[in-house]
Structure 1
Amino acid sequence: MKLKILLLIGLLPTLAFGQSYKKHTVQKDRLIIQLDEGTMNLIPLSDKAIRVQWDKGMKEEREFVLINKVQAPVFRVSEAGSKLKLATSVITVSFDKRTGVIDYSDNTGKVFLSEKAGSRKLTSNIVEGQSCFVAEQSFDSPSNEYLFGLGQFQDGHYNLRNVTRKLTQVNSQIAIPFLYSSRGYGLLWHQYGLTEFNPADNLVALTKKDTASGAGTVEVTTTSGTQRVSRQQALYTGKITISKDGDYSMMLDMGNMESRHLLVIDGKPYIDQTNQWLPPAASAVVNLKAGEHTVQILCKSANVPKLSWKLVGNETTFRSINARALDYIVFYGKNADDVITAYRNLSGNVPMLPLWAYGFWQCRERYTSGKHLVQTVEEFRRRNLPMDVIVQDWQYWGKHGWGVPQF
């Protein structure tokens, strides 16, 4: 009986992972690993870049990112115990045939990145009537790691470790699913659909407090002190019950562009932003004690906010809900410049702009007329202030409609 229990415990990593190794073949440009569930491709794109693709028969045929055609680098494949390894002169990627876990090491054998055991997932999904998968992968992230990138956001976060983000393209926000780590690697999550970074899945039930009745105002706490909210805004309240002390990532999603993000927990503001063009979502990492906590959210009365949370840990997760396969690329080099160079060599170099484009750009929300714009230029000249470009922005089109190339 004791022997059976030990055997069962030994099999748990493989059973839980559900992607048992069957066989592998080596081709001139890749290592192909057949699993019980689908096919794994380990593809060296350069000495400093390894691509991982796992599919269940559905593949993404379009390529919008890796537009430069490059020759496969010299690589070697070896086996040692349960480990199947592919190595270039810079990176060694190791696949554990027992657990399915992939890790990455430099040419000295130092591991700089590992997948989290059991976290690789392709779950069947349907989006707008089309069959697809939810692709998800988590990576180990030690407490001393710093993560940078993901594009241009207004949420104020610099180190993105444990931060929850919704990678969407909206006015004033640019999402790029690329990370650079203080451990020396870069990671491109190669998906074209909606992607969540460190998704928070625990939804908070919210109740809307109607501010349009009675006096039409309600008191809320902000970073500027107690304020009264006008009837054009609504206050949502709810409660969170957590079982342990720790850091929690809170994701606030308004659903639409906003001019205010305000999340208050137990009377303390954790998200408080005011801007004419705020993206729909914002997040914060907060430290909470075990027990019940009261939350308040302020937003436009027409919006329906969602608040979700997760207990943070030593992992980084990407999830895409409209994927055909799991697909990511790991880069490694001596420094950040090395990593970005490897990325650009695959994705295409950015051409240099004309010299005048590197000067001062004068831009505002818009100029109300041609006269307004010319007067602004004349005022710069009168004050001897240098200006290379003035941005006309929007509403110049008059009767021609939005955005037409007519003046």
Structure 2
Amino acid sequence: MKSRTITASLLTAMLLASCAAGRYEKSERGITVNIAAETENSVRKVRLQVIDDKIIRVSATPDKKFSSDTSLVVIPPRANVEYTIAETDSTVSLSTSQLTATVSFSTGDVKFYNKDGRLIVAEADGGREFSPIEVEGTKGYTVRQVFESLDKEEGIYGLGQHQSDEFNYKGKNEELFQYNTKVSVPFIVSTDNYGILWDSYSLCRFGNPEPYKQLGQVFKLYDKDGKEGALTGTYVPAKAEEPTIVQREDSIYFEHLIRKELKHVVNLPQDFNYQGSHVTYEGEIEPSESGEFKFILYYSGYMSVFIDGKEVVPERWRTAWNPNSYKFSVNLEAGKRVPVKIQWEPNGAVAYCGLRVYSPVDDKEQMQMSWWGEMQSQIDYYFIYGEDMDDVIHGYRTLTGKAPMMAKWVMGYWQSREKYNTSDEVLSTFAEFRRRGIPIDNIVIDWLHWKQDSWGSHEFDPERFPDPKGMVDSIHNMNGRVMISVWPKFYVTTEHYKEFDKNGWMYQLPVKDSIRDWVGPGYLSSFYDAYSPDARKLFWKQIEDHYVPVGMDAWWMDASEPNIRDCTDLQYRKDLITPTALGPSTKYFNAYGLMNADAIYNGQRGINDNRVFLLTRSGFAGQQRYSTATWSGDIATRWEDMKAQISAGLNFAASGIPWWSMDIGGFCVEDRFVAAAAEFDKTGRETPDMKEWRELNTRWYQFGAFAPMFRAHGQWPYREIFNIAPENHPAYKSVVYYTNLRYDLMPYIYSLAAKTHFDDYTIMRPMVMDFTADKATRNIGDQYMFGPSLLVAPVYTYGATSREVYFPEGADWYDFYTGKEINGGQTLKVAAPYERIPLFVRSGSIIPFGPAMQWSAEKPADMINLYVYAGEDGKFVLYEDENTNYNYEKGQYAMIPFSWNDETSTLTIGKRAGQYPGMLRNRKFNIIKVSEKTPVGYGRDKKGVVVAYNGEAKNVKL
């Protein structure tokens, strides 16, 4: 088979022959391959476009030409990249210096190879599907693209942040839509050092392209009396005088409110009081085939599931107004009837539950990577290759935008609660932190700081907040910052609503269907259309006019999914926000949070030089470019929810968006904890539930101290540590210790923030990112690296005083508190006393610790305790700038490089590079070496070798 290579500069001479054959043609930045379509909806054109040496865009369409849609996610590439084209009888290939993509002339399937010719990943034969769809007069396609599974041991991570406590998505299924606690990002990164950005804004599915099915669609159902066709539902009310309801249920699908009534749950008995009730669904299921059945449980209140006599879902809880989903699998045998039982305590006046299932899928098919999109103009994805997983994320941010430098105070401690109802509460709370000497940088003013009937006015209630600017000035005078809650929601009576509405920038159906919220008597409202550039400008203008003069420092963008109404089906959620300025919401459903963040970021950048900070409940690909952090939503105050945040945060980080936070302690509180706090306030007695509440918060604060953002928030009981436990309590002591440690680590954390901006680094790191070759790390989602040096192992079990930790191969490890060395490549049960989180340091680490501080910029770090952990060579770069402005974009910053030579036991402090106004020109380093022979635990007052430094390089023998 003859092959010929054509350089881009010589392409013109050969192009006519190929064009005459009609097989491919040169297009912008690459080639377009023409495919003989087998059917009307088969692929006709496949286009490869070179973005850079390691990134290739793939587009495919059954139409005669490609869509002219502009990507909402991808920033247009700036420079052309050299590439070559090679043709055989059956394929055409496009090659850069690092990557080759080959297209089959007969099928249009694409394969990707590295520069050495190794196949990285390939589209599956016949794995591309198009089905026409038309919504609101706009035509498009429901699409699917399948990739072959070349490596069964591959690890796949990303997809945003989900709550089922899944980590490695190889062979898994995930629906990608936005909802409170669920943040969907259509990007994955693989241990085979590639990533795929699926450029779609609609409902998507990773894995199985079908929706989950009702039990009766997959199994024969039998009630508890053995009668075929349904399970038995028994509804026992809290009050004995009320009747028990027993009825047959052909499905367990009580997940959504009736659309327009918005008060009844579809399929549940309506004349029944669910508060305090007990509900049981029981009977038998009989599968028609053998294999692994994958279930998804939708639950509110307390719920457990038993199949074949085994508790497959131990008790879980969620508040009634914000249900959660949880996935589990069970192997079943064809024709064998097994008992099933669901025990449910709804724990609310309104109740939701559901149990749906996927039938077994052939293992080869399940292990393939599949992307499905509900409505797109065409198939569009970006293939990204890298030297390692960090390099892949670098490619992702090359496409979607770099993460700006966050202000230094963002990395300090944030205090919040639902909610501070008066300015006195705000000021007294912040002042109490200062009085007690507990470090803090920020306090948050949550929703309903406005008059009850004025959501969207951006005006403070003058009775509760008589002097908003004076309040904010007072916080500033205490060296703090203030973040304000700003929703894209407006009551119809507000002037701001009317200003949007007259321009056609408010969604109309919420008003037409009279959707009223939960405040007071219930007020009528809607959300603005963030897909309109002019509407975004108006949104910012209203904020600029009302909140900027008050002096607000940061913006809390709540409900940015957008969440117009909880607990409705997806179709109605789409109906509530359509049409958008760009087209039907079916096509643009998932990108609202990205558009909304654009409004604030670009708005503030236009008026001052203060670094923008947004905290948003939803996120999407590219959101990092708007200086945005995302938090994990209104999660529950349960141990299993705390554990789920670890894998959720790690996958969000692997999705390329580095700034993430969670409500430390959980947002939605179990009744028993509320009662325990009330009992303690009344009597001072620590009940068993109060004891657990304190331990839960302690463990969560310990975990939160090593998240990109360190932030407590939630419903009552109050979340300030002095309201959780008294000073002599181990909970109080531990939380204060880790808050102080967070500030001690500020030089390390701020330097990592700079590395995140300049080098596209990831701060909160799955173990697999740094130890990809160690396959034991591929399914470890409950411990992680915080930067290059710290291994963090949160404790998420009540009463636990130890836990297992895996220490990867390729490094040795030191106990942070004792300095004792641990060899890599083993799993150990380590001590985890109440007041301590297991924390370890990688050999070769260089960690700068700053002075004790009450806020992030209280004093210059003129003495840095520099801990050097021997055992291998190491490097670190200390970064410093002005902390709050954008002068770093002009090159005004300084870096001090450190390198450790383990063989010669020499630390080199390099020459300082760069400068900025107010830079500390002279300082001291207190250098403390930790080794197997000289174990040293961390302490502020440990003595080492003190070295004066004036910016010139020097070597220090240790």
TM-score after normalising by structure 1: 0.81
1:56 to 54, 57, 62: 62
Instruction: Report the AA paired with residue 312 of structure 2.
Output: P
Distance 2:46 2:88 in 1: 19
* 1:318-333 → structure 2 map (5 Å cutoff): 318-333=371-386
Comparing 185-194 and 168-177, the one that deviates more:
168-177
Comparing 386-395 and 261-270, the one that deviates more:
261-270
Check 1:216–1:381 CA distance in 2 against 1; reply closer, same or farther (3 A cut): farther
* 1:233-248 → structure 2 map (5 Å cutoff): 235-236=280-281, 239=285, 241-245=287-291, 247-248=292-293
Check 1:370–1:119 CA distance in 2 against 1; reply closer, same or farther (3 A cut): same
Check 1:401–1:266 CA distance in 2 against 1; reply closer, same or farther (3 A cut): farther
Distance 2:22 2:212 in 1: 36
Structure 1 segments of 4+ aligned residues over 6 angstroms from their partners: none
Shift of 1:263: 4.8
Distance 1:392 1:59 in 2: 44
Shift of 1:176: 0.5
1:144 to 136, 153, 165: 153
In the other structure, the counterpart of 2:294 is: 249
Shift of 1:184: 0.6
Shift of 1:271: 7.4
Work out whether 1:170 is the aligned partner of 2:170. no
In the other structure, the counterpart of 1:307 is: 356
- Tell which structure's C-alpha radius of gyration is larger: 2
In the other structure, the counterpart of 1:10 is: none
In the other structure, the counterpart of 1:23 is: 23
* 1:2-401 → structure 2 map (5 Å cutoff): 23-35=23-35, 36=37, 37=42, 38-57=44-63, 59=67, 61-127=69-135, 130-141=138-149, 142-199=151-208, 200-201=210-211, 203-205=213-215, 209-211=233-235, 235-236=280-281, 239=285, 241-245=287-291, 247-252=292-297, 258=300, 263-267=305-309, 268-270=311-313, 273-276=316-319, 281-290=325-334, 291-296=336-341, 298=344, 302-303=351-352, 305=354, 307-312=356-361, 313-401=366-454
Distance 1:299 1:31 in 2: 59
Number of residue pairs aligned between Structure 1 and Structure 2:
373
Distance 1:362 1:212 in 2: 42
Comparing 202-211 and 184-193, the one that deviates more:
202-211
Contact 1:147 1:181 (8 Å CA) reproduced: yes
Check 1:155–1:304 CA distance in 2 against 1; reply closer, same or farther (3 A cut): closer
Q: Could you report, residue by residue, the CA deviation over 1:320-364 in whole angstroms, capped at 9, with x for unpaired residues?
A: 111111111110010112111111112111211211111111233
**Using CA pairs below 8 Å that are at least 6 residues apart, which structure has the higher relative contact order?**
1
Instruction: Report the AA paired with residue 235 of structure 2.
Output: T
Shift of 1:135: 0.9
Distance 1:62 1:271 in 2: 47
Check 1:68–1:24 CA distance in 2 against 1; reply closer, same or farther (3 A cut): closer
Instruction: Report the AA paired with residue 251 of structure 1.
Output: I
Instruction: Report the AA paired with residue 91 of structure 1.
Output: L
TM-score after normalising by structure 2: 0.36
Contact 1:259 1:278 (8 Å CA) reproduced: no
SS in 2 for 1:372: helix
Contact 1:165 1:251 (8 Å CA) reproduced: no
Check 1:273–1:176 CA distance in 2 against 1; reply closer, same or farther (3 A cut): farther
Q: What runs of 5+ residues in structure 2 fail to find an aligned partner?
A: 1-20, 217-230, 247-273, 461-958
Contact 1:94 1:102 (8 Å CA) reproduced: yes
SS in 2 for 1:175: strand
Distance 1:271 1:72 in 2: 56
SS in 2 for 1:374: helix
Shift of 1:134: 0.8
Distance 1:338 1:193 in 2: 28
Contact 1:248 1:288 (8 Å CA) reproduced: yes
Q: Could you report, residue by residue, the CA deviation over 1:102-160 in whole angstroms, capped at 9, with x for unpaired residues?
A: 21111111111111221211111234554321111111233201111011122111111
In the other structure, the counterpart of 1:14 is: none
Distance 2:457 2:278 in 1: 34
In the other structure, the counterpart of 1:9 is: none
Q: What runs of 5+ residues in structure 1 fail to find an aligned partner?
A: 1-20, 219-228
Instruction: Report the AA paired with residue 163 of structure 1.
Output: K
More helix, by proportion? 2
Work out whether 1:405 is the aligned partner of 2:411. no
Contact 2:215 2:357 (8 Å CA) reproduced: no
Comparing 258-267 and 135-144, the one that deviates more:
258-267
Contact 2:23 2:105 (8 Å CA) reproduced: no
SS in 2 for 1:53: strand
Contact 1:68 1:345 (8 Å CA) reproduced: no
Shift of 1:190: 0.7
Instruction: Report the AA paired with residue 114 of structure 2.
Output: D
Q: Could you report, residue by residue, the CA deviation over 1:273-308 in whole angstroms, capped at 9, with x for unpaired residues?
A: 424475654423444444445555558565463513
Q: Identity percentage over the alignment?
A: 27
SS in 2 for 1:40: strand
More strand, by proportion? 1
Check 1:60–1:205 CA distance in 2 against 1; reply closer, same or farther (3 A cut): farther
CA RMSD of aligned residues (A): 3.1
Check 1:278–1:177 CA distance in 2 against 1; reply closer, same or farther (3 A cut): farther
